[in-house]
Amino acid sequence: MSVHTALSAPADTPAMSAPAAPPRPATIEAARIRVAAIPAAHPYVRSIAGDEVTVLGELIPDSRPAGQWWPPVRFDAAWITAHADEFDLMHLHFGTESFDETHLTQTVTALRGSRRPLVYTVHDLSHPQLGDQLAHERQLDILVRAANSLVTLTRGAAAAIRERWGREAAVIAHPNVFPLGAPFPATPARREITVGVHLRDLRPNIDAEALTAELADAAAELRAGGIPVTVRIDVHERVRDAGALERLRGLCEGRDGVDLRVRPRPDDDLLATELAGLDACVLPYRHGSHSGWLELCWDLGVPVLAPDLGFFADQHAGDPTIVTRRTGQGLAGALRELLDSAGATRAGTAQRAALQEARRTLRRAERQSVSADYTRIYAAAITRARP
């Protein structure tokens, strides 16, 4: 199961047309409630499975290149009609941007005709993979209205759904992203303070150039004030805008305390190690709703500086190690506030290790509540859909 899947919905690869080759199903185990999750291979989804719920394995087209994202096979009217006896409900998270509105309408109509309810967890009121949000907003109009049950991750998002569509969404917090049974990455303690930002492949919601320029200036200001800060800027070597990458190089060249690292996309283990080695992480978003990246940082005990947009501040409301940068606030001042916040820990210290273990304990309990909440939502949706 890929951590990257939680942080990139869909993955950082172009969408492709529907497969011509027949898909191969993964092995599934019997359970009382069989959930066709869209997508199935996602860290959030694995929190749903329990004693009464089985999430059907992902359908993977034989023709799909290794590691290639593919439009979800099950989110299709023909598949639903042909396989309605194989699942009890469909649970949509995301991954529909490759489909047009007609496809969505036909799919939800097929679900209704098959008496298979649709549960929709609204992760993204603003789509991170898109610049122009019009098509996504039209999809939301179809899906939010058609869903038998709605879920979202924060109270702020639930309020926005209520205001726009007049519908109530249950609020279920995003569960852990870093695996509960995995050892935490070992990172060395250091005097130098490392502030990191991951620009990934420069997808549309990444404010790469403006933020990089601000970070370089903030590093100079903090260092001049006696704070030994290094800003580490990570970006994939394969990006969506090669010109922007060259401009990033220019912005960082010759700047003290700025380390631009252009390298291959890291695997899950390396990504977790890199994040765990930070004293603070800056989220680089220009728009968005919720952040799996923030959840991974929280699991690893890394303080987070978030932009004042979407519902990032609601994901762990009241946690002093998540600071929202106020409008007009200088980046150096926001970083000082974050680094000085109550509970902020340094990488590689005993305090960081203790915080990680304490949060893991909370995540274990949360995992049980998430599974129980979804079991109740599923059972109620099935009962209402089948007279």
> For 213-245, how does the pLDDT look when each residue is reduced to its tens digit (9 = 90+)?
999 999 999 999 999 999 999 999 999 999 999
Give the torsion sign (CA, 92, 97, 99, 102). positive
Mean pLDDT throughout 111-120? 97
With a pLDDT cut of 90, the percent of the chain lying above it is 81
The answer as to CATH 3.10.450 being correct for domain 3-175+367-385 is no
Distance from C-alpha of 192 to C-alpha of 233, rounded to nearest angstrom: 16
Two domains, one topology: 3-175+367-385 and 193-352: yes
Task: Supply the pLDDT for residue 14.
Answer: 27
Task: Supply the pLDDT for residue 66.
Answer: 67
Which candidate, 186, 203, 215, places its Cα nearest to that of 274? Answer: 186
pTM of the model: 0.90
Higher pLDDT, 14 or 120: 120
Higher pLDDT, 385 or 182: 182
User: Mind giving me the DSSP string for 166-197?
Assistant: S---EE-----SS-TTSPPPP----SSEEEEE
* 284-287-288 Cα angle (round to 5): 95
Question: Residue 20 carries which DSSP code?
Answer: S
Task: Supply the pLDDT for residue 289.
Answer: 96
CATH number of 193-352: 3.40.50.2000
Tokens standing for 188? 């060395």
Distance from C-alpha of 184 to C-alpha of 276, rounded to nearest angstrom: 8
- Strands 23-25 and 59-61, by their bridges, are antiparallel
Task: Supply the pLDDT for residue 387.
Answer: 67
> For 6-43, how does the pLDDT look when each residue is reduced to its tens digit (9 = 90+)?
444 433 322 323 333 334 444 334 448 999 999 988 87
Task: Supply the pLDDT for residue 68.
Answer: 66
Domain-wise residue ranges, the chain: 3-175+367-385, 193-352
Task: Supply the pLDDT for residue 265.
Answer: 94
